[in-house]
């Protein structure tokens, strides 16, 4: 134990280390997937907690795993890059003998000079500002607990006070009738000097109704040692809400999405119904954006000024420029390559933009049109029932209904180039690689296998024949 902590010295410049408890099985989730990997707003529960740790400028994050340890560790190792700003470590709790036992496993990874913030991998929405205040309350020399008042505190550890001073946390199964009437509960989140934590954890026993090593027992050790125990009480239950069942997960999802909806509306975004709006990534909106009901935004999405999004759209990894209109039931998914929609473009309804689709200004993509890895220049139109894959389309091109680019030969992808002002008739097949010369016209029903000259009509189809006196077969 460091001498300055023993002497009660306060140093607000102490480094912060975060311990995340993520070893639980989550039996009530009734799932093979480890509980902390279930998704909230498109990200694993424990991923939200890691993101919060990053906002605290944590020096090190120690994740305690147990059930599904291999899956949890693999997921977090992949999704936590060098930009996280902290050193990520994993320790395992096997067997699982309580919360105190869990944190004991993390001790070898914790330096004595820090403040340890203990979080839970299934409590995803604690605000970073709340934790900063908790760390300030700790001050490097006190045990700080995050608490809240619940009308029904059943199942939670009760905060027992003497005056304003916290004397103990009593777990539900060990509480007396008088203690069970206490409404202030411990959230499971604390900030504590690392050196003190190590000394107190060494004194833990399991003489309780559960036969487990309770982390909360360190409160009585702090009191016995004359160390101040303070409570930072909040009023927002969402910040301490854990997930133990699909019902709780759904409730927290809706609470989270409603908060996001309110933030966007405060910024000026018009939402037809904030209860039917889902952001599962990073959505950025300029002025006068309007979004209809049942829209889902995933990954990185930006909406320019005056953009209108129709009902029932799913948009992922896309940049949509000013005054573009995305009509209802459109699906846009840029994945890694991204999708761009130019200023004043019209897309949908029932359109699909896939990775690499780049639409210029005033482009029209209509119902049941799919675009993949293709660039459409200003004013190009594909209004009905068409496919453009691996294509470069010039300005003012009109691409007919039922036409497709045959871009795949079974082994390789090939590109189609359609130069400016080309008119492609309905039900055409453009067999790549092929170039349609500027200003040319392709007759409806043509299968084009060779480059077409500029300014000419190109027709490639069987000659129409009418047979006289022909009779249909009869039964």
Q: What is the pLDDT of residue 226?
A: 94
Q: What is the pLDDT of residue 392?
A: 98
pTM, whole model, 2 decimals? Answer: 0.88
Q: What is the pLDDT of residue 55?
A: 94
Q: Which residues are within 8 A (CB) of 241 and not within 5 positions of it... i.e. 6 or more apart?
A: 123, 125, 248, 251, 252, 255
Q: What is the pLDDT of residue 225?
A: 95
Q: What is the pLDDT of residue 209?
A: 77
- How far is the C-alpha of 369 from the C-alpha of 365, rounded, in Å? 6
Contact 99, 56 (CB under 8 A): no
User: Tens digits of per-residue pLDDT, 144-175?
Assistant: 999 999 999 998 999 999 888 899 999 888 89
Q: What is the pLDDT of residue 2?
A: 40
Q: What is the pLDDT of residue 21?
A: 97
Active site residues: 384
Contact 416, 405 (CB under 8 A): yes
User: Tens digits of per-residue pLDDT, 102-140?
Assistant: 999 999 999 999 999 999 999 999 999 999 999 999 999
Q: What is the pLDDT of residue 82?
A: 60
Q: What is the pLDDT of residue 10?
A: 39
pLDDT in tens, the chain (475 residues): 344 433 434 344 799 999 999 998 889 999 999 999 999 999 999 999 999 999 999 999 999 999 999 999 999 988 776 667 899 999 999 988 999 999 999 999 999 999 999 999 999 999 999 999 999 999 999 999 999 999 999 989 999 998 888 999 998 888 999 999 999 999 999 999 999 999 999 999 988 878 889 899 999 999 999 999 999 999 999 999 999 999 999 999 999 999 999 999 999 999 999 999 999 999 999 999 999 999 999 999 999 999 999 999 999 999 999 999 999 999 999 999 999 999 999 999 999 999 999 999 999 999 999 999 999 999 999 999 999 999 999 999 999 999 999 999 999 999 999 999 999 999 999 999 999 999 999 999 999 999 999 999 999 998 888 889 988 888 8
User: Tens digits of per-residue pLDDT, 361-395?
Assistant: 999 999 999 999 999 999 999 999 999 999 999 99
SS (H, E, C) the chain: CCHHHHCCCCCCCCCEEEEEEECCCCHHHCCCCCHHHCEECCEEHHHHHHHHHHHCCCCEEEEEEECEHHHHHHHHHHHCCHHHCCEEEEEECCCCCCHHHHHHHHHHHCCCCCEEEEEECCCCCCCHHHHHHHHHHHCCCCEEEEEEECCCCCCCCEEEEECCEEEEEECHHHCCHHHHCCCEEEEEEEEEEHHHHHHHHCCCCCCCCCCCCCHHHHHHHHHHCCCCEEEEEECCHHHHCCCCCHHHHHHHHHHHHHHHHHHHHHCCCEECCCCCEEEEEEEEECCCCEECCCEEEEEEEEECCCCEECCCCEEEEEEECCCCEECCCCEEECCCCCEEECCCCEECCCCEECCCCEECCCCEEEECCEEECCEECCCCEEEECCEEECEEECCCCEECCCCEEECECCCCECCEEECCCCEECCCCEEECCEEECCCCEECCCCEECCCECCCCEECCCCCCCCCCCCCCCCC
Q: What is the pLDDT of residue 165?
A: 87
- How far is the C-alpha of 382 from the C-alpha of 352, rounded, in Å? 12
């Amino acid at each position: 134990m460091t001498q300055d902590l023993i002497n009660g010295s306060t140093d607000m410049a102490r480094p912060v280390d975060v311990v995340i408890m993520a070893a639980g099985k989550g039996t009530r989730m009734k799932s093979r997937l480890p509980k902390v990997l279930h998704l909230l707003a498109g990200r694993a529960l424990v991923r939200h907690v890691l993101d919060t740790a990053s906002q605290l400028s944590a020096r090190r994050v120690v994740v305690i795993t147990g059930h599904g340890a291999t899956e949890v560790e693999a997921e977090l190792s992949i999704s936590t890059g060098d930009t996280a700003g902290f050193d990520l470590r994993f320790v395992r709790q096997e067997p699982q003998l309580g919360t105190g036992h869990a944190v004991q496993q993390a001790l070898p990874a914790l330096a004595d000079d820090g403040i340890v913030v203990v979080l839970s991998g299934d409590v995803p929405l604690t605000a970073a500002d709340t934790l900063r205040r908790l760390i300030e309350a700790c001050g490097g020399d006190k045990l700080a607990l995050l608490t809240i008042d619940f009308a029904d505190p059943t199942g939670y550890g009760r905060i027992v006070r003497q005056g304003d001073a916290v004397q103990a946390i009593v777990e539900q199964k060990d509480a007396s009738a008088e203690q069970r009437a206490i409404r202030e509960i411990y959230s499971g989140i604390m900030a504590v000097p690392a050196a003190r934590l190590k000394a107190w954890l060494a004194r833990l026993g399991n003489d309780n109704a559960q036969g487990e090593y309770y982390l909360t027992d360190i409160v009585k050790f702090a009191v016995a040692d004359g160390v101040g125990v303070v409570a930072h009480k909040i009023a927002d239950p969402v910040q301490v809400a854990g997930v133990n069942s699909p019902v709780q997960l759904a409730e927290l999802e809706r609470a989270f999405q409603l908060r996001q909806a309110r933030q966007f509306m405060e910024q000026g975004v018009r939402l037809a119904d904030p209860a039917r709006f889902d952001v599962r990534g990073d959505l950025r909106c300029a002025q006068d954006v309007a979004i209809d009901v049942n829209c889902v935004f995933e990954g990185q999405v930006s909406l320019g000024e005056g953009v209108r999004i129709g009902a029932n759209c799913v948009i992922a990894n896309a940049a949509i420029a000013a005054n573009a209109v995305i009509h209802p039931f459109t699906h846009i998914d840029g994945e890694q390559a991204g999708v761009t929609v130019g200023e004043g473009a019209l897309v949908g309804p029932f359109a699909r933009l896939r990775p690499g689709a780049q639409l210029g200004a005033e482009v029209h993509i209509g119902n049941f049109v799919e675009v993949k890895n293709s660039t459409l220049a200003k004013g190009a139109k594909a209004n009905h029932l068409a496919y453009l894959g691996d294509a470069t389309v010039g300005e003012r091109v009109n691409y007919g209904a039922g036409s497709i680019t045959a871009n795949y030969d079974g082994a390789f992808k090939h590109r189609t180039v359609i130069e400016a002002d080309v008119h492609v008739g309905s039900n055409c097949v453009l067999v790549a690689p092929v170039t349609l010369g500027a200003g040319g016209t392709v007759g409806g029903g043509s299968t084009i296998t060779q480059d077409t000259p500029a300014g000419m009509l190109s027709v490639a189809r069987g000659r129409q024949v009418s047979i006289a006196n022909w009779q249909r077969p009869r039964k």
